[in-house]
């Protein structure tokens, strides 16, 4: 079984893959799977040291070529840096895994941080999808994985803007799946449930149930080229399907109640004069 999915990935999307957000979480796990399948990798993230260690390990273990591109996709020059670093490579796969979230009261949020999230989750994703989509269409084939989330299927109080950015990712991927298919380009939205990937700590959330990045990586790669959206793992399916028969307004309130519980400590800390500055 393993040999079949590895051969399929390499044949359809090799010899090079680009992975953003590769230093941790889901991006890191997908990079490991791609290396296992024999694809050469361009790994990008903000952490140069972590990426270089990954490159050394993967090169030694799988005898592949790995290039490291340190960049911050919140900056306007981030995608251009990645374009320049890959223009001479035969890239057939983009894993757009870079992203982060915020949570808590919208009116208490820091506007600068929200704009940074918008730049990473949406603007940079738009640029990457446009640039590599054109490259893959000209090449005659390729694939793109855009990391969505189950929070993107309805509004989510106490993570309002983060959910909105993931709704952007989800709808973009759904449309590109249809639009680019005649050009031989596969597009997939991967929409996992909350995942233990460092996301919660940065977003200021305390999660109960959560998935592991490894539970997301393999189902996502298996679904690429076969469907437009994947809900990887049992938790993702449980949370989405259990709400699917409810009207949208009810889903918003239920998801808001869940997020309220995961961010209640923020309001307590603010009342104590903590969590500021």
What is the CB neighbour count within 10 angstroms for residue 54?
23
> What value does the mean pLDDT of the chain take?
88
Select which of 13, 62, 162, 177 is catalytic.
162
Active site residue 166: yes
Is 10 noted as a catalytic residue in this protein?
no
Which residue ranges of the chain lie beneath pLDDT 70? 1-2, 197-209, 236, 261-277
Give the pLDDT score at 208. Answer: 54
Query: ∠111-162-165 over CA atoms, to 5°?
Result: 100
CB 172 within 8 A of CB 123: no
**Annotated catalytic residue within 33, 62, 166, 168:** 166
Domains, the chain, ranges and CATH? 2-271 (3.40.50.720)
Three-state DSSP class for 142?
strand
Segment 160-176, tens digit of pLDDT: 999 999 999 999 999 99
Model pTM score:
0.86
For position 249, what pLDDT does the model report? 76
Is the distance from CB of 94 to CB of 141 less than 8 angstroms?
A: no
């Amino acid at each position: 079984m393993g040999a079949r999915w590895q051969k399929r990935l390499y044949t359809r999307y090799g010899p090079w893959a680009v992975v953003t957000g590769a230093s941790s979480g889901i991006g890191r796990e997908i990079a490991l799977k791609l290396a296992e399948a024999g694809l050469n990798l361009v790994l990008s993230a903000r952490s140069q040291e972590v990426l270089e260690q990954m490159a050394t390990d993967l090169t030694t273990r799988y005898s592949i070529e790995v290039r490291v591109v340190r960049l911050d996709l919140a900056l306007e020059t981030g995608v251009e840096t990645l374009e320049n670093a890959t223009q001479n490579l035969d890239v057939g796969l983009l894993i757009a895994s870079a992203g982060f979230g915020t949570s808590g009261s919208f009116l208490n949020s820091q506007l600068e941080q929200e704009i940074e999230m918008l730049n990473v989750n949406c603007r940079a994703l738009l640029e990457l999808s446009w640039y590599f989509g054109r490259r893959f269409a000209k090449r005659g084939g390729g694939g793109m994985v855009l990391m969505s989330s189950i929070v993107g299927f309805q509004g989510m109080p106490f993570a309002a803007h983060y959910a909105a950015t993931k709704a952007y990712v989800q709808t973009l991927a759904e449309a590109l799946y249809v639009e680019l298919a005649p050009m031989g380009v596969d597009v997939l939205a991967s929409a996992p449930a909350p995942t233990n990937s460092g996301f919660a700590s940065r977003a200021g959330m305390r999660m109960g149930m959560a998935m592991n990045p490894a539970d997301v990586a393999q189902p996502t790669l298996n679904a690429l080229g076969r469907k437009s959206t994947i809900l990887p793992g049992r938790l993702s399916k449980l949370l989405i399907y259990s709400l699917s028969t409810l009207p949208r307004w009810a889903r918003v309130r239920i998801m808001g109640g869940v997020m309220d519980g995961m961010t209640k400590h923020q309001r307590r800390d603010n009342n104590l004069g903590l969590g500021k500055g």
